[in-house]
Structure 1
Amino acid sequence: MTAVGGAGPRQTWAGLPWLVRSAVLWSGCLIVFVLALYLLGRAVVLLAPLAIAVAVTFFLTALLDPVQLALRRLRLPGSLAALLTILLLLGILVGAGTLVWNLTAGQFSDLSKELIQGVDRTRDFVTSTLPITDQQLDRIIDQARRGLSQGGGGLDPVSGARTAAEVVGSTLLALVLLFFLLKDGRSMWRWVLDRMTGPRREVTAQAGRNGWRTLGAYSRGTMMIAAIDAIGIGIALVVLRVPLALPLALITFLGGFIPIIGATVAGTVAVLVALAAKGPVTALLVLAAVIAVQQIEGNLLEPLIMKRQVRLHPAVILVAVTAGTLIAGIAGAFVAVPITAVVWRVIDTVQKSRDAASPPAPATPPATAAE
């Protein structure tokens, strides 16, 4: 009876049409895959402050690693070299922030006024050239504002205090992790590799090296490109006598760390300020300057500064930045692209290692004359 009972379901399954069996199998795999993605997404959202702190720590470690290596070549202990590197970073950030604040603190209120005037002029242009009324445009803007406020969770004091606490905690955690990674990062990696044997050890070592090189090239290249963009657009604003050139150049520099979207937002702000302050002709000239700088960056500077292994397709960058923004806001948009680049580089290295280890396919024998 056991054999008959056990053979029944197998016979029933085998008797089903192949299309039904395939649909059942694919549906089951899809359910498991969606459930895994859902659980992973929930975990990422709950641990977003920790994940962002760790990602920023790795980004800064890759950026500052040449500095601490140079200090170690001077025979400094690892802990002292790491501490001096972090102090140098904090000194640069505090000094640059203080300088920029002293130069632009009184201009940010003017920047907001210029932006409002630029938006008003753009609104008048839209309503005068497109078949849309002021009331319809107001409804669209109100709906967008309500959607943004609901997505941001409101501005109540409790959520604001919690966000501030998360930012402070994440910053302190990132600084502590940065010290330990600069001091003991290589020994930690060697400890991981020593626990592996066989071919997996070499593949893991190669994937780790390639991923680290990709992160280092991305961090240093992004900073250089952001600085070049800010200088180029800042010079254009000064030549065109657009007010608030320094704050706009600072916004351009910060926007350079968020690929595609950051540059677009920064360029839009510059054009709106030029439109409000100097009129449509100057705004068009600023737009032309922004497009020219971005084209030079994308077609000349990025291939020279960034390594080929770092470059991703624009569609992949847009999806990564959007996902990072939805998960963790601006901080998520900042770390989304380097994480994607490193993960892709690691996967590519593992795949190439597997292809090299697999035996070659047997050659097809040549056809004879009789055939």
Structure 2
Amino acid sequence: MNGDEGRTADRPMPGGLRGTWDRLPWLVRSMVMWSACLVVVVAALYLLGKIAVLLAPLAIALAATLFLTALLDPVTRLLRRLRLPASLAALLTVLLLLGVLFGTAALVWSLTADQFRGLADELDQGVQRTRDFVTSTLPVSEAQLDRLTEQARAGMNRSSPDPVSGARTAAEVAGSVLLSLVLLFFLLKDGRAMWHWVLRRISERNRAMAAAAGRAGWRTLGAYSRGTMMIALIDAVGIGLALVLLGVPLAFPLALITFIGAFVPIIGATVAGTVAVLVALAANGPGTALLVLAAVIAVQQTEGNLLEPLIMKRQVRLHPAVILVAVTAGTLVAGIAGAFVSVPITAVAYRVVDTIQRYRQQAAREQALGLPDVAGPGPEADPA
């Protein structure tokens, strides 16, 4: 603080407010200032959340595009090293993604089509066994169980969307998917040029810091995307193999559900494991369901305590409490889509803020030591 700022701060506030403020305990003053800052931050986040909800298809498309770009960028760079043009490399990467998605869907359908045809009878038998087990074990009569079942069915019918809203949602999903694919092509093709353009619009004083923060955020997103993909694949293979060995029907679809659920940390794995246990209970009875539960717990514990720290390392590691809060907040704001994108957004934001803070601390130390400013990376800095 220079002399002019010090004299300005010493001036009395109008109407004796400065004296009243000075007479307050320092703890009260600190709480007032922190509360005011917290109100401003929460209001800004709430406003951004409302805007994201109003523009939900666009927000979801942008989030999916950034996630896929970070995941597929190494493929594009490999193709560019083979001296392919940027447009052709980006197009081949997008086609590779579509081939993997459609090929996986076709493979799962061909392997499970027969199981789908016979699943209705197995579910009927499993439901009857479950009813007998509940009525013989718990103090619940068949009439009470029927009444609870009817109430649950009525609630599901009331919560089911009407055809008009369902058609609108389907159209929004199709539009978001198409927009994501188009944006993915352009980001893979011209993403670095776009980043250089942004850096050239930043003042020279802050350009190096912005470049460092951008690189840190992009590397975090890429590491999270690839690490989550590997962990999800390991979970799906482990649980799917256990389902196959135990003779549970629909093992491949359940493994696919496990793969998709792994992208929602903590909650997704729990939901996917619950679905697998319920299917095993309905089809093969309580004994198989308990074995499936044991297999799910073993796979998830191995993944959480061994594989995730090894794959993710320190670059994107967040405390489980932070992950739970982020997933819950994302779900409340944007439903399932918010649950998917909440953790990578939190990880990237944390890494960007941490990089900016470290950069400023280093600059302050250099200034205190009287060292000249070190020129950071210029517009040519690569965020990836």
Shared fold (TM-score, shorter chain, > 0.5): yes
Match of 1:265 among 259, 266, 271: 271
Aligned to 1:105: 113
Q: CA deviation at 1:37?
A: 3.7
Aligned to 2:92: 84
Matching residue's letter, 1:306 = M
Aligned to 2:334: 328
Aligned to 1:36: 44
| Identity level (%) | 65
Match of 2:231 among 225, 235, 259: 225
Match of 1:121 among 130, 138, 142: 130
> In the alignment, is the contact (CA less than 8 A) between 1:321 and 1:333 conserved in 2?
yes
Change (3 A) 1:282 1:43: same
> In the alignment, is the contact (CA less than 8 A) between 1:114 and 1:272 conserved in 2?
no
Aligned to 2:76: 68
Q: CA deviation at 1:122?
A: 8.2
Worse-matched range after superposition: 162-171 or 99-108: 99-108
Distance 1:141 1:13 in 2: 67
Distance 1:346 1:221 in 2: 19
Unaligned runs of 5+ in 2: 1-11, 369-384
Change (3 A) 1:327 1:35: closer
Q: CA deviation at 1:266?
A: 1.3
Residue aligned with 2:191, SS:
helix
Distance 2:182 2:105 in 1: 22
Distance 1:187 1:305 in 2: 30
Aligned to 1:366: none
Length-normalised TM-score, structure 1: 0.83
CA deviations 1:210-250 (Å, max 9, x no partner) are: 11111111111111111111111111122222222222212
Match of 1:57 among 50, 65, 68: 65
CA deviations 1:310-364 (Å, max 9, x no partner) are: 12111222222222223333222222211111111111111111222224999xx
Describe how 1:1-371 pairs up with structure 2 within 5 A. Answer: 9-11=14-16, 14-15=19-20, 18=24, 22=29, 32-108=40-116, 117=126, 121=130, 125=134, 128-129=137-138, 135=144, 142=151, 146=155, 155-359=161-365
Distance 1:126 1:13 in 2: 73
Distance 2:122 2:328 in 1: 28
Length-normalised TM-score, structure 2: 0.80
Unaligned runs of 5+ in 1: 1-6, 363-371
Matching residue's letter, 1:196 = I
> In the alignment, is the contact (CA less than 8 A) between 1:243 and 1:277 conserved in 2?
yes
Worse-matched range after superposition: 331-340 or 167-176: 331-340
Residue aligned with 1:311, SS:
coil
> In the alignment, is the contact (CA less than 8 A) between 1:82 and 1:182 conserved in 2?
yes
Q: CA deviation at 1:52?
A: 1.0
Q: CA RMSD in A?
A: 3.5
Distance 1:115 1:361 in 2: 72
Q: CA deviation at 1:10?
A: 2.4
Matching residue's letter, 2:19 = A
CA deviations 1:151-187 (Å, max 9, x no partner) are: x7x5112211221121111111111110110001111
Worse-matched range after superposition: 23-32 or 322-331: 23-32
Distance 1:35 1:120 in 2: 53
Change (3 A) 1:221 1:118: farther
Distance 2:119 2:340 in 1: 24
CA deviations 1:282-306 (Å, max 9, x no partner) are: 2211111111111111111112222
Distance 1:196 1:36 in 2: 23
Change (3 A) 1:145 1:336: farther
Q: CA deviation at 1:102?
A: 2.1
Matching residue's letter, 1:347 = V
Residue aligned with 1:310, SS:
coil
Aligned to 1:365: none
> In the alignment, is the contact (CA less than 8 A) between 2:130 and 2:285 conserved in 1?
no
Change (3 A) 1:220 1:25: closer
Residue aligned with 1:219, SS:
helix
Distance 2:152 2:88 in 1: 54
